Structure 1
Amino acid sequence: MSTAPWWRGAVIYQIYPRSFQDSNGDGIGDLPGIIQRLDYVASLGVDAIWISPFFRSPMADFGYDIADYRDVDPMFGTLADFDLLIATAHRLGLKVIIDQVLSHTSIEHAWFKESRSSRDNPKADWYVWADPSPDGTPPNNWLSLFGGGAWQWEPRREQYFLHNFLASQPDLNFHNPDVQQATLDNVRFWLDRGVDGLRLDAINFCFHDRQLRNNPAKPAELRTGRGFSPDNPYAYQYHWYNNTQPENLEFLQRLRALMDEYPEVAALGEISSEDSLATMAEYTGPERLHMGYSFELLTPDFSAAHVATTVRELEAKMSAGWPCWSISNHDVQRVATRWGGANPPPHLAATLSAMVCSLRGSVCVYQGEELGLPEAEIPFELLQDPYGIAFWPNFKGRDGCRTPMPWQALDQGGFTAGHPWLPVPDCHLRLNVQAQEAEAGSALQRFRQFLRFRREQPALRWGTVQLIEIADPVLAFVREHAGQRVLAAFNFSAQPQRLSLPGCADFVSLHGHGLVEGRLDQGGIELPGFGGLFARG
């Protein structure tokens, strides 16, 4: 047993509420729908759920543009529904983490409506306002992540306001102490309602450079990261000044002090910076965030070497913090397609889940990942994502990973009695929950089996990690905790792999983990295509 807090080594199941379960037939998932499916979530063996935004919003960015931080959007239900969700989850042994989008609001938020009305109202300095350049152009060269400039003209004030994302998502001015306090008060509102943690969206975007210095240009060969393609001008800059400012550290300490007033709550920060691993290390620890995650394993880079390099670099930089890993979420192409291609083998999903759940840290698992769902193909006329609409056809947006959960083969997958907000693709219907519940060796059954296995291995939950120097396509490492040593090895290719591994005689194979299993002998290990092996030393 360990005295570690619940979040350390936890498996966190991300729920995208629009697409999880619709309870009222309007085609959009909601909080009562989540409640209906919590028994299923608990049966997976996960420790917590993370619910993407459900707050009042005009839904320009599907809830990440918040108009009221303290209320549930009627599309998703009511505060009473949320309270029932908390109570139901806790009864089932699940912790509840909610998204908090602190760096920006919706253009419809009351704060912004007041701020934009004049230059001398009580909230005039609550957002990032700047005078135009002498020729009327924006004050600097900062760019929006969604394409184009990051400044929007406001005629009421004859000034520009900053938006790192959509023009309808104005950035708050965290250099103003009143903004910081109002933000912390909103966080306290949800902590008082009993949430167990916060997932902090774009947390390194809270502060901007006061001097509004131009971002320097980035060489063409370095225009990568977070799924950016060279056709997105955002990739053309080093984003040194529009985010990840040193002042953010003091605010994180204030946030942590607030959270420390509540027993056993945790903060998980989403971090996307020029050196995300270094920022993760800097932002996490006893006085800052409990956990952080970045996008290194959310990229198209699928190789044992890439995972090993990422882990090695993070371990070298993170001395006091705790990582949280993810290979899929609501912003990137589903991992079964991104790493497995157009026709991934049926058991690949379970192997990838086992791999990421075996790394040192906590893990976020995106809904449908346990089913091995591939990326959905959405025709342009049905796209909802403004990011995809803007960059079609080079980038098709995020709708392909946001389609509704397939609970059964018929009737819109059992997601809704109405017309779903995004189509349920046939390839997902074939992988529905009901069918996989009845199929021995399905991705779902393998996922459950591995999480049961993981719970019985303290080293996989809380242990240190030591990478073994092996060439592609095999990733191998040893986790160690309280005298238990577990060897984990994964084949990242479709071809069987045989390799010698010094010290194999000191390990005994572990079974019952649900993967296509490799073989261990005194001379080394043998792994089937996309197979894995666990052994205890």
Structure 2
Amino acid sequence: MTLPKDPNWWRGATIYQIYPRSYQDSNGDGIGDLPGITARLDHIAALGADAIWISPFFTSPMKDFGYDVSDYCDIDPMFGTLADFDALVARAHDLGLRVMIDLVLSHTSDAHPWFRESRMDRTNPKADWYVWAEPKPDGTAPNNWLSVFGGSAWHWDGRRRQYYLHNFLTSQPDLNLHNPDVQEALLQVAQFWLERGVDGFRLDTINFYFADKYLRDNPSLPPELRNDSIAPSVNPYNHQLHLFSKNQPENLEFLRKFRAVLNPYGAAAVGEVGDAQRGLEIMAEYTSGGDKVQMCYPFEMLQPSRLTATGVEETFARMAAAAPDAWPCWSYSNHDTVRHITRWNLSDAAAKTYTALLVCLRGSLCLYQGEELGLPEAELAFEDLQDPYGIEFWPEFKGRDGARTPMVWQTDNALAGFSTAPRSWLPVTAPHLPRSVAAQTGDPSSMLEHYRRALAFRRAHPVLRDGSMAGIVAEGGVIRFTRGAGAGAIFCAFNLSEVPQEIGLPVGAWELIGAELGSQPADKNRVNLGAWQICLARQV
């Protein structure tokens, strides 16, 4: 089945992120794979998602678990084959699900043939495909840039007698997108997957594509402005304002070229904006105007501190000031952050309220596998860690593995129905088992059924997917706003606190909706909201 070509399918869509190593193992090796994903797509369709995003499955040495690509146009054998991928796309489309895949265009693995050729000497055809630079006269690195994974962003290569740039692991050299041949090669990668039927891409580290061509030093960042949403506070990466190592203006023209490749296919792209200081403003630059990527997800809702009513108000005010037509993709959790249930220390009642808020926001949504089950962060022992980031900064920072443990399908199974292997690549932890899909399905009080109702509510009210958003006000612990205008507009209010609040409905006639999500009734246009209660009403 081929889904109808709709260039606007992404607006307001709900995208379900799959971490392939941990979704479903089909061959008993303890590692998830593409056939496993295909077998579990019915769960995502029943949840009510519009699309899936699959984290990298390309051929890779797996030093950063697929984000170090050694072949952009093939499948790593641990995940399956190109035929398996084609079968996955076909099944997803049969279920009405669009398929987005994760493209890592800022860097490759050092095992990629491009880099192997580039590092041979300074005159080969790909000598300028990566960011190479001379040492300073004293032999030290070309400038002060730091790696997200800790330490200098430069690594000495004895063969070329130059440094190469790596914003992440030393085994992940940065491509030189100032070279038009590199840009063309990457656009051909996108074309390859579009021809195989994908509906779009998640673009990893979209604001890292270009580095300053003059390699100027980054300025320091005052302690009060440092933020650990991109790197843990134990990492000196937070000590700099990354003015020159990323966020370069040349990126805009490349994104226009990328969009031109997408348009004939009706495909969409969502970019990951990794910037703690200017994330919303960069998102606005990349998504406004209709000629670059369709959407970006900034880090405002991936912060360590709990999202407050004031935080929501300030976020949307900043976004409106940057560009009214900017299009965000909001997310509370992903494969790089502590799960928000744990990060924000949420009760089930609080988690359900945040879910209701999410489906009412203007923008698209991204749900991370297991979020719909209310999974907390898994507590792992040091010897269980696989993530190089966590191993480097343990024990002050425990890494990303706690959000990457296997999906829990069954409660009465040691590996939760994820695998038949003696053990899985990361362990299934005991606190996750009672929250399995099997245990929650059909229980109206469960988190899973609440997510299903919430996504159904969003689908039933198109104004929530693509309508305007106005009157955004934080009062006490309550955030309130209106989606759309006139008859059919929806008033939304959420008490994001433990303190009861009383609010008033806007002027006009309103009827209660969303009772299935816990929406509270009005008494003469006044609404009493207890802790973590909500009010949803439609103008008549």
Alignment pair present for 1:441 and 2:457: no
1:70-109 equivalent positions in 2, closer than 5 A: 70-109=73-112
1:21-32 equivalent positions in 2, closer than 5 A: 21-32=24-35
Alignment pair present for 1:331 and 2:336: yes
Question: How big is the shift at 1:502?
Answer: 5.2
Unaligned 5+ residue runs, structure 2?
Answer: 1-5
Question: How big is the shift at 1:5?
Answer: 1.5
Separation in 2 of the partners of 1:355 and 1:412? 33
SS at match of 1:284: helix
Letter in structure 1 aligned against 2:10: W
Q: Where in structure 1 do 4 or more consecutive aligned residues deviate above 4 Å?
A: none
SS at match of 2:269: strand
Match of 1:374 in 2: 376
Question: How big is the shift at 1:529?
Answer: 1.9
Match of 1:267 in 2: 269
Q: Given that residues 214 and 241 in structure 1 are in contact (C-alpha distance below 8 angstroms), is that contact kept between their aligned partners in structure 2?
A: yes
Q: 2:393 aligns with which of 362, 387, 391?
A: 391
Q: 2:293 aligns with which of 283, 289, 295?
A: 289
Q: TM-score, normalised by structure 2?
A: 0.96
| Cα gap change, 1:120 to 1:318, in 2 (>3 Å) | same
Alignment pair present for 1:494 and 2:498: yes
Alignment pair present for 1:140 and 2:143: yes
Match of 2:225 in 1: 222
Match of 1:179 in 2: 182
Q: Given that residues 118 and 127 in structure 2 are in contact (C-alpha distance below 8 angstroms), is that contact kept between their aligned partners in structure 1?
A: yes
SS at match of 2:407: coil
Q: Given that residues 385 and 401 in structure 2 are in contact (C-alpha distance below 8 angstroms), is that contact kept between their aligned partners in structure 1?
A: yes
Letter in structure 2 aligned against 1:459: V
SS at match of 2:435: coil
Q: Given that residues 330 and 401 in structure 1 are in contact (C-alpha distance below 8 angstroms), is that contact kept between their aligned partners in structure 2?
A: yes
Match of 1:194 in 2: 197
| Cα gap change, 1:212 to 1:25, in 2 (>3 Å) | same
CA offsets 1:348-371 (integer angstroms, 9 cap, x no match): 333212211211010000011111
Letter in structure 1 aligned against 2:427: P
Alignment pair present for 1:415 and 2:418: yes
Match of 1:453 in 2: 457
Alignment pair present for 1:484 and 2:488: yes
Alignment pair present for 1:304 and 2:306: no
Separation in 2 of the partners of 1:229 and 1:345? 25
Letter in structure 2 aligned against 1:58: P
Single out whichever of 428-437 and 268-277 deviates more from structure 2: 268-277
Separation in 2 of the partners of 1:11 and 1:510? 21
Separation in 2 of the partners of 1:126 and 1:86? 32
Separation in 2 of the partners of 1:159 and 1:522? 73
Q: 1:112 aligns with which of 108, 111, 115?
A: 115
| Cα gap change, 1:111 to 1:187, in 2 (>3 Å) | same
CA offsets 1:32-88 (integer angstroms, 9 cap, x no match): 000010011100011000000000000111100000000000000000000000000
Question: How big is the shift at 1:256?
Answer: 0.7
Question: How big is the shift at 1:210?
Answer: 0.7
Separation in 2 of the partners of 1:394 and 1:411? 30
CA offsets 1:86-125 (integer angstroms, 9 cap, x no match): 0000000000000000000001000000001111111000
Question: How big is the shift at 1:484?
Answer: 2.0
Separation in 2 of the partners of 1:175 and 1:469? 44
Separation in 2 of the partners of 1:251 and 1:241? 17
Separation in 2 of the partners of 1:4 and 1:123? 36
Match of 1:320 in 2: 325
Separation in 2 of the partners of 1:481 and 1:63? 45
SS at match of 1:519: coil
SS at match of 2:479: strand
Alignment pair present for 1:235 and 2:238: yes
Separation in 2 of the partners of 1:113 and 1:528? 61
Q: 2:45 aligns with which of 42, 46, 59?
A: 42
Q: 2:166 aligns with which of 160, 163, 180?
A: 163
Letter in structure 1 aligned against 2:355: S
Separation in 1 of the partners of 2:348 and 2:506? 32
Q: Given that residues 408 and 436 in structure 2 are in contact (C-alpha distance below 8 angstroms), is that contact kept between their aligned partners in structure 1?
A: yes
Q: Given that residues 287 and 295 in structure 2 are in contact (C-alpha distance below 8 angstroms), is that contact kept between their aligned partners in structure 1?
A: yes
Question: How big is the shift at 1:458?
Answer: 1.6
Alignment pair present for 1:425 and 2:449: no
Letter in structure 2 aligned against 1:373: L
Separation in 2 of the partners of 1:511 and 1:230? 41
1:395-406 equivalent positions in 2, closer than 5 A: 395-406=397-408
Separation in 2 of the partners of 1:468 and 1:140? 44
- Number of residue equivalences: 529
Q: Given that residues 498 and 524 in structure 1 are in contact (C-alpha distance below 8 angstroms), is that contact kept between their aligned partners in structure 2?
A: no
Letter in structure 1 aligned against 2:523: D
Separation in 2 of the partners of 1:392 and 1:504? 54
Separation in 1 of the partners of 2:68 and 2:478? 42
CA offsets 1:263-317 (integer angstroms, 9 cap, x no match): x210111112331111100001311011111111000232111122112211221
Separation in 1 of the partners of 2:523 and 2:321? 32
Separation in 2 of the partners of 1:258 and 1:517? 44
Alignment pair present for 1:12 and 2:15: yes
Q: Given that residues 414 and 428 in structure 2 are in contact (C-alpha distance below 8 angstroms), is that contact kept between their aligned partners in structure 1?
A: no
Separation in 2 of the partners of 1:229 and 1:41? 32
Alignment pair present for 1:358 and 2:363: no
Separation in 2 of the partners of 1:51 and 1:308? 31
Letter in structure 2 aligned against 1:328: S
Separation in 1 of the partners of 2:326 and 2:525? 37
Separation in 1 of the partners of 2:48 and 2:133? 50
Match of 2:521 in 1: 519
Alignment pair present for 1:124 and 2:127: yes
Question: How big is the shift at 1:4?
Answer: 7.7
Q: Given that residues 340 and 376 in structure 2 are in contact (C-alpha distance below 8 angstroms), is that contact kept between their aligned partners in structure 1?
A: yes
Question: How big is the shift at 1:525?
Answer: 1.7
Question: How big is the shift at 1:489?
Answer: 1.1
Separation in 1 of the partners of 2:210 and 2:7? 32
Q: Given that residues 196 and 265 in structure 1 are in contact (C-alpha distance below 8 angstroms), is that contact kept between their aligned partners in structure 2?
A: yes
Alignment pair present for 1:510 and 2:513: yes
Q: Given that residues 351 and 531 in structure 1 are in contact (C-alpha distance below 8 angstroms), is that contact kept between their aligned partners in structure 2?
A: yes
Letter in structure 2 aligned against 1:441: S
Q: TM-score, normalised by structure 1?
A: 0.96
- Say what the alpha-carbon RMSD is for the aligned residues: 1.4
Separation in 1 of the partners of 2:133 and 2:514? 62
SS at match of 1:260: helix
Q: Given that residues 229 and 304 in structure 2 are in contact (C-alpha distance below 8 angstroms), is that contact kept between their aligned partners in structure 1?
A: no
Question: How big is the shift at 1:248?
Answer: 0.6
Separation in 2 of the partners of 1:513 and 1:236? 47
Q: Given that residues 7 and 263 in structure 2 are in contact (C-alpha distance below 8 angstroms), is that contact kept between their aligned partners in structure 1?
A: no
